[in-house]
Structure 1
Amino acid sequence: MDFYAINSLRENHAGWSLLRAQNAPLALSFFMKAFTGPNQRDIGRQQLIDHLDDVLFGLRDVYGENKFPRPAGEYLDDWAAPEKAWLRKYYVPGQDEPHYDLTPAAEDVVRWVENLRGRDFVATQSRLTSIFAVLKALVQQSETDPEVRLAELQRQRDGIDAEMQRIRDGNIRVMTAPEALDHFQQLTTLAKDLLADFREVEQNFRKLDRQVREQIAIWDGTQGELLETIFANQQGISSSLQGRTFQGFWDYLMSPQLRTELQDLLQRATEIEALSGVEDLHAVTRLHQDWLPAVDQTQATVRQLSEQMRRLLDDKVFLENKRIMRLIRSIESSALGTREAPPSGVFMEIAAQSVDVALPFERPLYEPSRKMMVDDAVLAADDSEVDAGALFSQFHVDMERLQANVDAVLAGAEQATLVDVTQAYPLQQGLAEIVAYYQLASESEWASIHDDVPQQLQWKLPDGSTREATIDQIIFVRPA
């Protein structure tokens, strides 16, 4: 950022204006008490006025009645005004009372001011551990070479086996108190950062919707093009980077298995002896309960934006129909006026209708169908020398047996190739069984076929001879 960008932020950014405001200590202390302290959002006006009255009463008792003379409602209206935008004022569907929430800019200032106090304990080791974990996931999950990924998984398995052996030998390493406190502080910080991100996600959704509304308001094209634009932008909100990451978090949080695992881990964290002296330790068990209302409100914002966009489209259709009806009425009025006083001369010319003429002799003459003579003599065949065994030597490939073979191999491994499966369960029906395995892989979402990696398969025939086939590599993965 250069001088001009920073100067523009100083003059226009809501957070910077909050820091420069004369009553910034009042606003920030109130925002901490009402919003960030209890992790609350979507507060009604009357409830917020009661909170602010309590804060003002305490300050006036110390500094006198003239310190903050205005009523609490006026302070809220001033802070929610567009020129300041420290609070967002809006109406919840079905309610007449306005509601308030912190804007992302105001919340950033609140968190910055809270960090100015300094910390008695600064988490460093857990941050480094988090960086390594994220970096490893980024590199490993982006690797496309199967051999490299298999080698990494084998290295992890060796490490797990070594750790299990150390535990069997009685060498159990437990986190020290500073390490446990370090990781716990990192956990609470990330949880608060996640709650703060929801306000910015919601604001970005509203910004995308506002851009669509502005485009619709100045639209001068056809109705069909308008519909195409609306649907494209509506899809764009959901498929944007913001929308996809938020939807991924929502799906992750809504998984019953993952929620149960998260709740169990949070409960076990409160039972760690090294953290017994931490203040409000049991509050960490409510982390996911704090996330759910925030996520649900963001989801409700997306639904509300969709409903408002649909109503905006209905208004466009209504106005278009109204304009068409005015044109029809105008045409009818002009027609009635012309009937009473028709103009002289030629009033209107209409091209004469054309008639299709078909002459009788242009039709083709009748032509009787020809009868085909078929020699239907039946000859008796001597089938004494015909071998009918081929009709009864057919066999059936049992797909359920093949799927059971794959599942049995995956029970002891995360993934396996078709060669691994056939080594454990040799082929019994030769090429037909290989084709059946191909069908299983093509129909399963937990299998992949790599035509650039050839593999060799061998099987024995009943007469003892060996057959060999070169096939594409088929990898079966254990379902998640």
Structure 2
Amino acid sequence: MDYYAISSLRENHAGWALLRAQNAPLAVSFFIRAFTGPNQRDLGRQELIDHLDDVLFGLRDVLGEDKFPRPASEYLDEWAAPERAWLRKYYVPGQDEPRYDLTAAAEDVVHWVESLRGRDFVATQSRLTSIFAVLKALVQQSETDPEVRLAELQRQRDGIDAEMQRIRDGNIRVMTAPEALDHFQQLTSLAKDLLSDFREVEQNFRKLDRQVREQIATWDGSQGELLETIFANQQDISSSLQGRTFQGFWDYLMSPQLRTELRDLLQRATQIEALSGTANLHAVTNLHQDWLPAVEQTQATVRQLSQQMRRLLDDKVFLENKRIMQLIRSIESGALGTREAPPSGVFLDVAAPSVEVSLPFERPLYEPSRKVMVDDDVVAADDTDVDAGALFSQFHVDTQRLKSSIDAVLSDAEQATLADITDAHPLQQGLAEIVAYYQLATESDWASINPEATQQLSWQLPDGSIREATIDQIIFGRPA
């Protein structure tokens, strides 16, 4: 970022404005107490006013009655105003009371202020372990050479066998207390950051939808072109990187097997002896319970955006129908006025109805066709110069076999790329089989084609030569 970009953020970013505000300590401390501290979202206005009244009462008792003279409701309205945008004020269908939530910019400021306090224990080993794990997954899962991947899997198997033998010999290595505390702090930090990400994801969804609604409001073309544009934008929202990663997280969280495994791991983590003195240890067991309301609220936002888009279309159709009815009424009124005082001369020419008559004798008589003389002198061709192999080299790609290959790979994974599928079930018919996979991806609701990423596929010809093709990344997902 250069000087001009930073200067623009200083003048326009809501988070920077919060840091520069005169009552920033009051706002940040209240946000911590009401939202980030208890990890709450979607709070009613009266509940927030009660929270803020308690905070103001304590501050006035210590600093004096004239420190924060305004009532709590005015502070809430100021923080939720568009020029502040520290709180998001909205209404839930079926409720008259407004609801409030912390914006992503304000939450970033809260986390930054909390980080200024410093930490007694800084996790370093667990972060390095996480970096190595992510880096290994990135490199190994992107490798297209089967020999390299098999060698890596063999190395992992050898390491697992060696570890099992050490355990059989009684040499069991247990994580030390500093290491356990290091990993536990990393776990809680990542879980808290993940909850913070949901607000930004939801804000990005609303930003994409706002662009579509602005386009609807200013559209001056035909209704069909508008619908085509809206459907394309809605597809862009669901197929964007934000939408695909969020849907992948939702599918992962909704898997009964993975949820059971996560709950079991969290429960066993609270029973580690090295963590027995850690504060709020048992709160870790409810991590997935904290994720579910946040994810559900984001999903509800996406559904609400779709409903709002439908209402915008209905309103536009209603206005167009109303305009058509107004034109019809004006034509009828003009016709009634003309009936009482018709103009002089020819007012309107209407072609008289007529019937086309075709008499039987007007049809021509039957006339036999003329015989055409054909020279039927046939010259035999030399069969040795004709290659008939092309007539017998045609083949058919069985799409049912390809679907079975996809289902077999997705039985062990939530989603898989075409490269993963062809690794498990190599290509047999070359480029024609790749085209068939493309057709299955475009016809399926659980597949997507990412033109921003590529993947390389290879297959072997009957003569032993290898052919390779670089295509857009195709991702198949397991149907819900």
TM-score normalised by structure 1 residue count:
0.77
- Which residue identity does 1:42 align to in structure 2? D
Match of residue 427 from structure 2: 450
- Which residue identity does 1:335 align to in structure 2? A
- Which residue identity does 2:136 align to in structure 1? K
Structure with greater contact order relative to length (CA < 8 Å, sep ≥ 6)? 2
* Secondary structure of 2:100 counterpart: strand
Match of residue 332 from structure 1: 332
Match of residue 172 from structure 2: 172
In 2, distance between residues paired with 1:442 and 1:310? 35
* Secondary structure of 2:427 counterpart: strand
Q: Contact 1:90–1:98 at 8 Å: present in 2 too?
A: yes
Map 1:50-129 → 2, pairs under 5 A: 50-129=50-129
Map 1:37-436 → 2, pairs under 5 A: 37-350=37-350, 356-361=356-361, 362=363
Aligned pair count? 394
Measured after TM superposition, the shift of residue 160 of structure 1 is 1.2
In 2, distance between residues paired with 1:438 and 1:75? 63
Change (3 A) 1:441 1:330: closer
Change (3 A) 1:356 1:438: closer
In 2, distance between residues paired with 1:191 and 1:438? 42
Change (3 A) 1:143 1:336: same
* Secondary structure of 1:154 counterpart: helix
Q: Can you list the C-alpha shifts for 1:359-380, whole angstroms capped at 9, x where unaligned?
A: 525367599xxxxxxxxxxxxx
In 2, distance between residues paired with 1:364 and 1:48? 96
Q: Contact 1:216–1:226 at 8 Å: present in 2 too?
A: yes
- Which residue identity does 2:126 align to in structure 1? S
Q: Can you list the C-alpha shifts for 1:388-411, whole angstroms capped at 9, x where unaligned?
A: xxxxxxxxxxxxxxxxxxxxxxxx
Match of residue 414 from structure 1: none
In 2, distance between residues paired with 1:444 and 1:341? 80
Change (3 A) 1:338 1:284: same
In 2, distance between residues paired with 1:224 and 1:442? 35
* Secondary structure of 1:89 counterpart: strand
Change (3 A) 1:161 1:121: same
* Secondary structure of 2:425 counterpart: strand
In 1, distance between residues paired with 2:357 and 2:13? 79
Measured after TM superposition, the shift of residue 332 of structure 1 is 0.9
Change (3 A) 1:440 1:205: closer
Q: Contact 1:275–1:281 at 8 Å: present in 2 too?
A: yes
Q: Contact 2:181–2:275 at 8 Å: present in 1 too?
A: yes
Q: Can you list the C-alpha shifts for 1:291-346, whole angstroms capped at 9, x where unaligned?
A: 00000111111111111111111100110110000011111111112222222223
Change (3 A) 1:199 1:439: closer
Match of residue 430 from structure 1: none
* Secondary structure of 1:85 counterpart: coil
* Secondary structure of 1:88 counterpart: strand
In 1, distance between residues paired with 2:461 and 2:6? 61
Measured after TM superposition, the shift of residue 443 of structure 1 is 3.5
Unmatched segments (≥5 aa) in structure 1: 368-434, 457-468, 473-479
Measured after TM superposition, the shift of residue 440 of structure 1 is 5.7
Change (3 A) 1:366 1:146: same
Measured after TM superposition, the shift of residue 349 of structure 1 is 3.2
Match of residue 384 from structure 2: none
In 2, distance between residues paired with 1:146 and 1:230? 43
- Which residue identity does 2:107 align to in structure 1? E
* Secondary structure of 2:88 counterpart: strand
Change (3 A) 1:234 1:160: same
* Secondary structure of 2:118 counterpart: coil
Q: Contact 1:44–1:98 at 8 Å: present in 2 too?
A: yes
Measured after TM superposition, the shift of residue 231 of structure 1 is 1.7
* Secondary structure of 1:277 counterpart: coil
- Which residue identity does 1:448 align to in structure 2? H
Match of residue 422 from structure 1: none
Q: Can you list the C-alpha shifts for 1:231-270, whole angstroms capped at 9, x where unaligned?
A: 2222222111111111111111011110000000000000
Measured after TM superposition, the shift of residue 167 of structure 1 is 1.3
In 2, distance between residues paired with 1:205 and 1:6? 25
Q: Can you list the C-alpha shifts for 1:432-459, whole angstroms capped at 9, x where unaligned?
A: xxx9x99867644226242365599xxx
In 2, distance between residues paired with 1:441 and 1:208? 36
In 1, distance between residues paired with 2:399 and 2:34? 62
Measured after TM superposition, the shift of residue 169 of structure 1 is 1.5
* Secondary structure of 1:450 counterpart: coil
* Secondary structure of 1:296 counterpart: helix
* Secondary structure of 1:285 counterpart: helix
In 1, distance between residues paired with 2:24 and 2:403? 64
Change (3 A) 1:282 1:364: farther
Match of residue 393 from structure 2: none
* Secondary structure of 2:278 counterpart: coil
In 1, distance between residues paired with 2:139 and 2:359? 81
Choose 103-112 or 224-233, whichever is displaced more.
224-233
Q: Contact 2:426–2:459 at 8 Å: present in 1 too?
A: no
Greater gyration radius = 1
Change (3 A) 1:107 1:356: same
Q: Contact 1:87–1:101 at 8 Å: present in 2 too?
A: yes
- Which residue identity does 1:46 align to in structure 2? Q
In 2, distance between residues paired with 1:144 and 1:345? 86
